[in-house]
Structure 1
């Protein structure tokens, strides 16, 4: 059951996946004993290669940023009228987006990724689910239920389209809107490529907005290793296609395992699945006893979200279920 007040209170509901330290404190084990299914990060990460000593020792030069941006423009089919800003993770941009307009009302349909509401609230905005607003945030596909939005939903003077999980379904992308005044599209590198620790993300939008974001983030915001790895990965379209097929197959396999135990699939993407269960806390505790960490939500006693296990984790998950 979802509590409306809790959903609109970013301070009460600012929870995330991960948090294995807390899981270990309650259920024991070492970090290496655990399988973390709470985050929706690809368990088969892109294989890093080709790093140079200069990537670590020198400040990143302009050419490295340009090469990464050029690769991103091709990979995501970015319209010519839009600019691209690499950033140290999508969350770094999320924290700065509310500064792009005078504080007012922001429309954020709940439930969704809670950092957007927290960021806008921290800078004096008021969060609403409906009604006219000076800004709107749409997470596309939505986290946690996988909802897909349409062009008409990008309807506020400042519109943020968070496509952190859209690389699994590129045909649904709203990137074609990125050149419009007031529109910013966010991309996350860590989830689809499985390299969340690299801290790399992108803001793509109208040149005026991107120039202001660039002023807020400052120079050398992205590390040399992240620039090189990101450029290499974005050029590797064969890996991306193979990964989409594997993720889709693994998501189907996960659904079969979990629904066989009485859960009901209610949404998600091929990187995470959202199930409705009788008691989400009981399910999480049962999995935790087998050192498998899952995601539950403060606004629902029945929502359980699971990411995909690594290749050697399927048998453990099946036994725990």
Structure 2
């Protein structure tokens, strides 16, 4: 199993403390206030609720969507829907994509973002995380649609993981997924801060969604999760206020890092940089109760999410000050 952020039990066990500021994920620390769900949500088998699909299609602007148990479920399943193919996965990016395409008989290559355009001509499937996790790199929507058309013309796929796309909805290609060969993944875990309900969506043409639903089987989304997500996806006032707040917090984080000599890039939900001493920085922060995401392979660097409160911001600033004085 690959390593991910959010593993606070591991942090507590390793460093012997419980007072963590968890910056190891890009999840909104101010999650959507989940409503009380109907009592029968805990009792009934969770048959698919059309209201959930309708709310998702309206929020993401997609013509057709399939709810899944987090985008992770789709990432694991999609490689099983194709015969062995030549697959290019953007790198560095969310490691689960490459892991599962390589594990199901496909010829998988890790492809730097600068080389993705050339890779389209020589692969059957191209996977792009957009905006990218962890670097925040963005491929313009017009470019993605051109690649999708080129791949679809020979039976290929363009898979676009937009899990962090809710703060920059203008660059989404979800609206174009009625065409064959374009598959978009979306998540309520990041922007809405609801990672615990394990819910995401796949936008694609109807035939692929039917095949994916058959593969995943029945009752994939719990009843409580469905009810909570309908409320979150429909709450336009909360969404607008949250986008404004996240953009301000993201800029505050970027400026704080810059004030300590760190030139970072990212999204409103996280910042990343190629740290020359990533292990030492990670150790320094952990010893001060700040859990950050360490990258040591395809991208040697550090990713920081947003502190949850003013006390967390102050602890981060103090730790950065100590680091910059070393």
Output the TM-score relative to the length of structure 1: 0.90
1:238 matched residue in structure 2: 237
- The 3-state SS of whatever aligns with 2:179 is coil
Q: Distance in 2 between matches of 1:41 and 1:316?
A: 19
Match of 2:15 among 22, 27, 33: 27
- What displacement does 1:44 show? 0.2
2:53 matched residue in structure 1: 69
Structure 2 unaligned blocks of 5 or more: 112-118, 321-326
Q: Distance in 2 between matches of 1:118 and 1:160?
A: 15
Q: Distance in 2 between matches of 1:300 and 1:78?
A: 32
- What displacement does 1:16 show? 1.8
- The 3-state SS of whatever aligns with 2:304 is strand
Q: Distance in 1 between matches of 2:82 and 2:257?
A: 44
- What displacement does 1:52 show? 1.2
- The 3-state SS of whatever aligns with 2:251 is helix
Q: 5 Å matches for 1:194-213? A: 194-213=193-212
Matched, 1:141 2:125: no
1:219 matched residue in structure 2: 218
Matched, 1:161 2:151: no
Matched, 1:152 2:146: yes
- What displacement does 1:310 show? 0.4
Q: Is the Cα–Cα contact under 8 Å of residues 30 and 193 in structure 2 kept in the other structure?
A: yes
Q: Is the Cα–Cα contact under 8 Å of residues 281 and 301 in structure 1 kept in the other structure?
A: no
Q: 5 Å matches for 1:71-86? A: 71-79=55-63, 83-86=64-67
Q: Distance in 2 between matches of 1:284 and 1:261?
A: 16
| Range with greater deviation from structure 2 (171-180 or 198-207) | 171-180
Q: 5 Å matches for 1:152-301? A: 152-154=146-148, 155-156=150-151, 157-265=156-264, 267-299=265-297
Match of 1:307 among 302, 305, 321: 305
- What displacement does 1:300 show? 5.9
- What displacement does 1:298 show? 2.0
**After TM superposition, which residue ranges in structure 1, 4 or more long, deviate above 4 angstroms?**
none
Aligned length: 301
Spell out, residue by residue over 1:4-53, the C-alpha distance to the aligned partner (whole angstroms, 9 max, x if none): xxxxxxx8xx43222223322332202xx111111100000000113111
Specify whether residues 300 and 283 from structure 1 end up closer, same or farther in structure 2 by C-alpha distance, changes over 3 A only: farther
- What displacement does 1:176 show? 2.3
- What displacement does 1:302 show? 4.8
Specify whether residues 284 and 219 from structure 1 end up closer, same or farther in structure 2 by C-alpha distance, changes over 3 A only: same
- What displacement does 1:301 show? 7.5
Q: Distance in 2 between matches of 1:188 and 1:132?
A: 30
2:324 matched residue in structure 1: none
1:8 matched residue in structure 2: none
Q: Distance in 1 between matches of 2:104 and 2:65?
A: 24
Q: Distance in 1 between matches of 2:258 and 2:291?
A: 18
- What displacement does 1:276 show? 3.1
The root-mean-square deviation of aligned C-alpha atoms, in Å, is 1.5
Q: Distance in 2 between matches of 1:213 and 1:29?
A: 43
- What displacement does 1:228 show? 0.3
| Range with greater deviation from structure 2 (21-30 or 307-316) | 21-30
Q: Is the Cα–Cα contact under 8 Å of residues 287 and 293 in structure 1 kept in the other structure?
A: yes
